[in-house]
């Protein structure tokens, strides 16, 4: 169980297990969102990728944060279809690289690793805030987490602040005009729909809040 101050590799594995469960619960919703502005496969792809990530972690039994990130990244990139695979794969690879060879991370290190993961998504996807992508949930979340720690908050406080900010950012994608990905092809018709990538990103952080500092 998490001790509330550090995040171990076992905690990270539990996070991915929880994320897989949550994606299972929301797969139909994610696909419905994607059917409005995408290929109608985000829920299916994410479910398949999360299950593969769980299997990869069981096979790899990582001993450090880098091993955790690498085990997931390669499997997600090869398993999840569309743009989500490379983006989520880049996230976990950068998170693991930043976490390094240590078996655990403190609150500051955990947020730094999450921030590196989001930066990798931004670099890989070439998106910016307001483009109606997963970054519209993730970037405010990182800012909220850093702000919480700077104000003396605990890891649990930071993760909850990040989750709340991600949810707000996710809902803020509804009135946006899509400027990246398949949704951008729709032009004005993309307005009025919540971005599915931002939604799965919120679920990722919600799962982290539920497992990493519970």
**Per-residue 3-state assignment (H helix, E strand, C coil) for 122-171:** HHHHCCCCCCCCCHHHHHHHHHHHHHHHHCCCCHHHHHHHHHHHHHHHHH
Highest mean pLDDT among 2-6, 76-80, 86-90: 86-90
**CA separation for the pair 27, 41 (Å, rounded):** 9
Question: How much is the average pLDDT of 51-67?
Answer: 96
**CA separation for the pair 80, 87 (Å, rounded):** 10
Is residue 114 in a domain?
yes
Percent of the chain clearing pLDDT 70 (strictly above): 97
**CA separation for the pair 162, 154 (Å, rounded):** 12
- Higher pLDDT among residues 62 and 5, named by residue: 62
Question: How much is the average pLDDT of 52-63?
Answer: 96
Compute how many other C-beta atoms are within 10 angstroms of the C-beta atom of residue 96. 25
Percent of the chain clearing pLDDT 90 (strictly above): 83
Per-residue model confidence (pLDDT) at position 80: 81
Is residue 150 in a domain?
yes
Across the chain, what does the average pLDDT equal? Answer: 93
The residue range of the domain holding 137 is 6-211
The number of folded domains in the chain is: 1
Dihedral of CA atoms 84, 86, 88, 90 in degrees, nearest 10, equals -160
Is residue 1 in a domain?
no
pLDDT value at 175 more than 90: yes
Per-residue model confidence (pLDDT) at position 159: 98
CATH of the domain at 55: 1.25.40.340
Question: How much is the average pLDDT of 43-48?
Answer: 94
Is residue 84 in a domain?
yes
Measured between alpha carbons, how far is residue 58 from residues 26, 65, 72 in Å?
Answer: 23, 15, 10
**CA separation for the pair 214, 209 (Å, rounded):** 7
pLDDT value at 125 more than 80: yes
- Higher pLDDT among residues 2 and 24, named by residue: 24
Per-residue model confidence (pLDDT) at position 1: 46
Question: How much is the average pLDDT of 91-101?
Answer: 97
Per-residue model confidence (pLDDT) at position 3: 57
Is residue 42 in a domain?
yes
Is the distance from CB of 159 to CB of 208 less than 8 angstroms?
yes
């Amino acid at each position: 169980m998490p001790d509330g101050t550090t995040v171990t590799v076992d905690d990270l594995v539990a996070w991915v297990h929880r994320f897989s469960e949550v994606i299972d619960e929301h797969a139909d919703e994610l696909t419905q969102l994607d059917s409005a502005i995408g290929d109608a496969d985000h829920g299916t792809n994410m479910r398949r990728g999360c299950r593969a990530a769980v299997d990869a972690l069981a096979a790899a039994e990582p001993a450090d944060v880098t091993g955790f990130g690498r085990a997931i990244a390669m499997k997600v990139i090869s398993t999840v279809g569309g743009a989500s695979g490379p983006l989520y794969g880049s996230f976990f690879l950068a998170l693991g690289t930043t976490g390094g060879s240590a078996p655990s991370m403190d609150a500051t290190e955990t947020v730094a690793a999450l921030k590196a993961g989001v930066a990798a998504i931004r670099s890989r996807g070439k998106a910016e805030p307001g483009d109606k992508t997963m970054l519209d949930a993730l970037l405010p979340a990182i800012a909220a987490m850093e702000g919480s720690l700077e104000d003396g908050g605990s890891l649990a406080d930071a993760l909850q602040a990040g989750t709340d900010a991600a949810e707000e950012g996710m809902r803020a994608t509804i009135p946006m005009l899509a400027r990246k990905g398949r949704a951008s092809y729709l032009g004005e018709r993309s307005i009025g729909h919540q971005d599915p990538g931002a939604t799965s990103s919120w679920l990722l952080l919600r799962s982290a809040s539920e497992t990493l500092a519970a």
